Chain A
Amino acid sequence: MSDLSTITLRADHLTKQVASPEGSLTILDDVSFKVERGRSVAICGPSGAGKSTLLALLAGLDDASSGRVWLDDIELGALDEDGRAALRAHRVGFVFQSFHLVPSLTALENVMLPLELDGARGPRERAREVLTSVGLAERLGHYPNQLSGGEKQRVAIARAFASGPAVLFADEPTGNLDSVTGKKIIDLLFALNQEQQATLVLVTHDEKLAARCDLRLDLLAGRLVDTQ
């Protein structure tokens, strides 16, 4: 068993139930695992298996019905919504399937956003630097609707890595991209992961992508069926 200090992410008996017309519905059922710092994890499974729900609980975007989550030794359930937001500002980065860029902001301003929220020094310089590192030095002043899908996702990745997060969550990061662009994006994700020693948590259907990760969690109907 790994030393506790090297663990960045730990889930303990996580369960999520929601009310439905047919009564209580269990979306996630007693899921437990832990991930060491700097490792990559793929959360896999068919649609409706509970992958996005697990990701949301791990990132503190949603509350579990029971069970606990620790992120960098901090138990998320003990924090209120603002406390979890502050934690995300410091230690969490996100990459979404549908990019989620603010349409009224330029690429540079989108990347500056979390840095500004975190009160980081020199957000403009840092944003410019990260965007350059993802190959978008020529696109700083472009708005999201002026960028291609791959470029949007690279802006999103730059935004996620800009504040040097401990954990990076990616929800189907290549889901909206063609295979060539998707591969480039994944390469970029892993390269930055390596470089910044961030823990990478991916939700994916992509077997090849899952195979590149250090750990693979397979979900089926809300239950963890396999851990590799």
Chain B
Amino acid sequence: MNAVAFGLRALWRDARAGELAALGAALAIAVATVTAIGFLTDRIGQAVALQAAEVLAADIRLSSPDALDTARLDAATEAGLKSATTLSFPSVVFAGDESVLASVHAVSTGYPLRGEIRVATSLLAEPAVVQTIPVPGEVWLDTALLARLGADVGATIELGAATFTVTNVLIYRPDQSPGFTGLAPSLIMNLADIPGTGLVGTGSRVRHGQLYAGTRDAVRQFAKQIKPTLEKSTRFEDRGDAGQQLNSAISRASRFLALASLVSLLLAAVAVAMSARRYAERHLDTAALMKSIGATQRFVIVSALTQLLVIGMIASSLGALLGYGAERILSVILAGLLRGDLPSPSMAPLIPGFGTAIILLTGFALPAVLRLGHTPPLRVLRRDLAPPPPGMILTYGAALIAIGALVYWSVRDLKLLAVILGGTTLTGGLLYLVGRLLIVWLARRRGRVGVAWRYGLANIARRGSHSAIQVVAFGLSIMVLLVLTLVRNDLLLGWRATLDDNAPNHFLINIQSDELAGVAQVLSTSGLGDPDFVPLVRARMTHINDVAVDERSYPTPRGRRLASRGANLTYADRLSATNNLVAGFWWTTDYTGPALVSVEIEAAEEMGLELGDRLKFILAGEELDAKVSSFRTVKWDSFEPNFFMVFSPAALAEYPRTFITSLKIPDGKRAELLRFVREYPSVSVIDIEAVLEQVRRVIDKAALAVQSVFAFTFLAGLIVLIAAVQTTLDERRYESALLRAFGARRRTVLAGIAAEFAALGLAAGVFAALGASVVGGLAAKQLFDLNYTPDPWLWLTGTVAGVLVVGVSGVVAARSAVNTPPVRTLRHV
């Protein structure tokens, strides 16, 4: 009989005897978690991407100052994509005697391909979603334009050579720029009316646009097809280019999900490692016996590997099925939030699911199983003999490589990899050390306690490194459970708090210096708010380190655009609360020396700037030299006025400037806002409520998804706990049989076990709380850029949870060992 066939038969016999349940369950849960998260992230990712696509009103947007090739529209139709055409240009709009420079947005039928247009039937009416665009002869004007023209719905306006009727107030269109510069009041009209206006001809300052949308694969294919054919002047944008604020929210959401999925994986890995170890230990006697009656080392290993492989296949199939089922249930729960037109999840997550099983088995179970092959046959005579422990390099090396592979597979993020690997190794090492110290400390104290405690404490001391490993396992799982319950809540709340209900929903820009006092007073007396005003100086960067910006090379195309376009500069004596200095220094409040500039870090990276670089600007016809003194991160999703470039105050104070501010205007104050617009017609009021709402929706969806995913992680944590208790079950069964045979009462034995687990739980709980605080703090700062203060309850909860959860689960699991009649256990041995 060959080893494979023997392994299969032994597997069947083992399965019948219930020997494989723990390993199989750990593996199945791991695969179920990964698959469910994979399926879920797939769907959520699509939902979030769709949300992001709204910013473009499409999945792909092409724009150019020149006419775009219309053949692409036909190609898109052939590829199964929807398309629409847009034309944007500035023009003066007349209504009676009033005239205002407006941004005209002409669109073809089908617009917008993503997102919705919202309009109101009059200036103060409630907005509603419409599925159409203005019919020819009609236009929709936004609130600011109507206010400045002194008009309302029903008015007639002139645009070029044509006359139009205003039929709606334009409240929101998905692709309106969420920024706060270059925005004039706008109107939307039907593209078919453009020839009648006579406004667009050769040399007109227009921007041509083409929008495309479709299924993910079709869009990807189409993008690949058209990219090489684009004219130099054509700008290509896809979902990845969504607004700064939205991008920031989406990237946080993906980090949350990635973290949740990784934590589940790590926990599952620990559970697999522990149950594989138990599996191997329970097979030591059989391996020794087999070798004593003639089985070779290869035979023992091959038959064990066969078993491992089959367990892996069966458990991962079961896990994949479970994961798929869980995803179906979750998507029903999330149905209201996910879009109905989402395609079903692809089968792709099944591959990482099975891959995970293979990696987990190889990295975490294989060393334990290979060890079986080294079982000395002499164990049949001397049961205390065990195979030499596997080498450190084999065990930890395999585990580290496996974790690395899993992390790379799921997030492809080196920073996250470093945080996770560092955090796990550090916490694991610390917990192990604590475990060893605890054992030494307890061993000295057991003379002073009662019989039950003495028995329990003696057990901890005797099991030595095994107890320390248990502290690690308990500590890690409690830590994760703490992170999942308390820290997660804090993180999610912190995230929501960046966009609380008081987040500004309007920007006021273009406030002249001499209007500042008046604007502030009107805002205050009309109850609109008392905001801070931030100065804005228009400039253009001309040189970086004496090289003209156009002649320099940049790490990214966006870097080139950022450097060469007109720049909005500001100055400040203090760093804004939504900014964080990451390199360099900030000037003192009384600094009056040569101009210093602080640059937003991502912009700096894309432009290839270094600290100390010299930048030259043209401001109001004068040159200004400034030295880069620091880099900052900026919370774009705070919706405060933020800038790529912030100068030392003395550098810009003498240049012509305007002011901007942001404020929260409640719904009930729209009439006051209209009055303000009429009083200060030159101040532009930009409503960003819609953008804000979009970001909130992304956060809400992502938060819900993260919560659901964390439920799996929680389950994985519990499995680790159970696996950790189970690892000592056999030994406990024997010991309690022995004690009871000596006359100990059931209660005494149970109390001893409870004492042992409670002491382990206490140590694990204290350090889990410490670990959770550190991990929470690190994650908040490094990954999510949030402020996080550890909850003092964490310590109490950690300790109590440690003692209770580990104590109770230990006793429950070991109860069967105590309840088995001693004679049966002893005879069995």
The interface of chain A, by Cβ under 8 A from chain B, is: 52, 55-56, 59, 61-62, 81-82, 85-90, 92-94, 96, 98, 100, 102-105, 109, 113-114, 116-119, 123, 145, 149, 159, 171
Nearest CB on B from A55, distance (A): 7
Find A82's partner among B290, B298, B380 (CB 8 Å cutoff).
B298
Q: Tell whether B682 is near chain A: CB-to-CB under 8 Å.
A: no
Within the assembled complex, what's the spacing in Å between the Cα atoms of A100 and B378? 12
- State which of B1, B291, B380, B829 has its C-beta within 8 Å of the C-beta of A96: B380
Cα A149 to Cα B828 with chains together (Å): 10
Provide the bound-state CA to CA distance between A96 and B827, in Å: 15
B299: chain A residues within 8 A (beta carbon): 117
Give the CA-CA distance A8 to B295 in the complex, in Å: 22
In angstroms, Cα B293 to Cα A103, docked, is 16
Asked if B17 lies at the interface with its beta carbon under 8 angstroms from chain A, I say: yes
A116 touches B294 (CB 8 A): no
B294 and A114 within 8 A (CB): yes
> Shortest Cβ distance from A211 into chain B, in angstroms?
24
B contact residues around A100 at 8 Å (CB): 285, 289, 380
Q: Which 5 A-B pairs have the closest CB atoms?
A: A89-B294, A104-B17, A82-B296, A116-B1, A114-B293
* Chain B 6-25 residues near chain A, CB threshold 8 A: 6, 10, 13-14, 16-17, 19
Which of the residues B17, B285, B291, B380 comes within 8 Å of A85, measured between beta carbons?
B291
- The yes or no answer to B377 lying at the interface (CB within 8 A) is yes
The interface residues of chain B lying within 8 Å CB-to-CB of A116 are 1, 6
Contact of B377 among A85, A145, A171 (CB under 8 A): A85
In the complex, the answer to whether A113 meets B293 with C-beta atoms within 8 Å is yes
The answer to the question of B485 belonging to the interface, with a C-beta cut-off of 8 Å to chain A, is: no
Q: Which residues of B contact A109 (CB under 8 A)?
A: 13
The reply to whether B298 and A88 form a contact with Cβ atoms under 8 Å apart is no
Contact B381 A52 (CB under 8 A): yes
Q: How far is the CA of A208 from the CA of B302 in the complex (A)?
A: 45
Given contacts A81-B297, A94-B380, 14 further A-B contacts (CB under 8 A): A52-B382, A62-B376, A81-B291, A85-B291, A85-B294, A86-B294, A88-B293, A89-B293, A89-B295, A104-B13, A114-B294, A116-B6, A123-B1, A145-B824
A149 to B827, CA, bound (A): 9
Residues of B within 8 A of A59 (CB): 292
Our pick among A61, A102, A117, A159 for the contact of B295 (Cβ within 8 Å) is: A117
* List of A residues within 8 angstroms of B728 by Cβ: none
Contacting B381 at CB < 8 Å: which of A55, A85, A88, A119? Answer: A55
- Interface flag for B99 (CB, 8 Å): no
A-B contact pairs, 29 of them (CB 8 A): A61-B378, A62-B376, A62-B378, A81-B297, A82-B297, A85-B295, A86-B294, A86-B296, A87-B294, A88-B294, A92-B293, A92-B294, A94-B380, A96-B380, A96-B381, A98-B829, A100-B285, A100-B289, A102-B286, A103-B17, A104-B13, A104-B14, A113-B290, A113-B293, A116-B6, A117-B1, A117-B293, A117-B299, A145-B827
Residues of A within 8 A of B376 (CB): 61-62
Chain B contacts for A55, CB-based, 8 A: 381
Q: Which residues of B contact A145 (CB under 8 A)?
A: 824, 827-828
In the assembled complex, the Cα of A159 lies from the Cα of B290 at a distance in Å of 12
Instruction: Report the Cα distance A42→B294, complex, angstroms.
Output: 24
Are B1 and A119 neighbours in the complex by a CB distance under 8 Å?
A: yes
Chain B residues within 8 Å of A56, by CB: 378, 381
Question: Among the interface residues B16, B293, B296, which one has the most CB atoms of the partner chain A within 10 A?
Answer: B293
Shortest distance from the beta carbon of B385 to any chain A beta carbon, whole Å: 9
Residues of chain B having any CB pair with chain A under 8 Å = 1, 6, 10, 13-14, 16-17, 19, 285-286, 289-299, 376-378, 380-382, 824, 827-829
Contact (Cβ within 8 A) B294 A118: yes
What is the CA–CA distance of A215 and B260 in the complex, to the nearest angstrom? Answer: 71
Chain B residue numbers with a CB within 8 Å of A87 are 294
B1 touching A61 by the CB < 8 A rule?
no
A94 touches B378 (CB 8 A): no
Which of A56, A118, A149, A171 neighbours the largest number of chain B CB atoms within 10 Å of its CB?
A56
Contact A85 B296 (CB under 8 A): yes
Chain B positions within 8 Å of A98 at CB level: 829
CA distance A94 to B381 in the complex (A): 11
A100 to B284, CA, bound (A): 12
In angstroms, Cα B298 to Cα A97, docked, is 28
Q: Given the complex, which residues of A lie within 8 Å of B292, measured CB to CB?
A: 59, 61, 88, 94
Q: Which residues of chain A have C-beta atoms less than 8 A from B1's C-beta?
A: 116-117, 119, 123
Interface residue from A62, A85, A104, A159 paired with B19 (Cβ < 8 Å): A104
Give Cα A94–Cα B289 distance, bound, in whole angstroms.
10
- Note all chain A residues with C-beta closer than 8 A to B828: 103, 145
Nearest A-chain residue to B374, judged by Cβ: A81
The residue that A171 contacts in the complex, of B19, B285, B381, with Cβ under 8 A, is: B381
A88 CB to closest chain B CB (Å) equals 5
Closest CB in chain A relative to B378 CB, distance in Å: 4
Q: Tell which of A85, A98, A102 has the most Cβ of chain B within 10 Å.
A: A85
Closest B residue by C-beta to A83:
B296
Cα of A115 to Cα of B342 in the assembled complex, Å: 60
- Smallest CB separation, A123 vs chain B (Å): 8
In Å, the complex CA distance between A88 and B289 comes to 11
With contacts A100-B380, A102-B289, A117-B299 known, is A90 near B13, CB below 8 A? no
A36 to chain B, nearest CB (A): 24
Question: In the complex, what residue of chain B is closest to A101 when comparing beta carbons?
Answer: B289
Give the docked Cα–Cα distance between A114 and B294 (Å). Answer: 7
Write out the residue numbers on chain B whose beta carbons fall within 8 Å of the beta carbon of A105.
13
Chain B residues lying within 8 Å of A90, measured Cβ to Cβ, are: 294
CA distance A116 to B828 in the complex (A): 25
A154 to B284, CA, bound (A): 23
Q: How far is the CA of A104 from the CA of B283 in the complex (A)?
A: 11
- Interface core residue of A81, A92, A113, A116 (most chain B CB under 10 Å): A113
Q: Closest CB-CB distance, B738 to chain A, in whole Å?
A: 16
When distances are taken between beta carbons in the complex, the residues of chain A under 8 Å from B381 are 52, 55-56, 61, 96, 171
Centre residue among B285, B295, B824, B829 by max chain A CB count within 10 A: B295
- The residue among B6, B14, B380 with the most chain A CB atoms within 10 A of its own CB is B380
A93 to B291, CA, bound (A): 12
A102 to B14, CA, bound (A): 10
Report chain B residues within 8 Å CB of A61.
292, 376-378, 380-381
A127, chain B: closest CB distance, angstroms: 13
Minimum C-beta distance from B803 to chain A (A): 35
With A and B bound together, what is the CA distance between A88 and B288 in angstroms? 13
| B293–A104 CB distance below 8 A | no
Residues of A within 8 A of B297 (CB): 81-82, 85
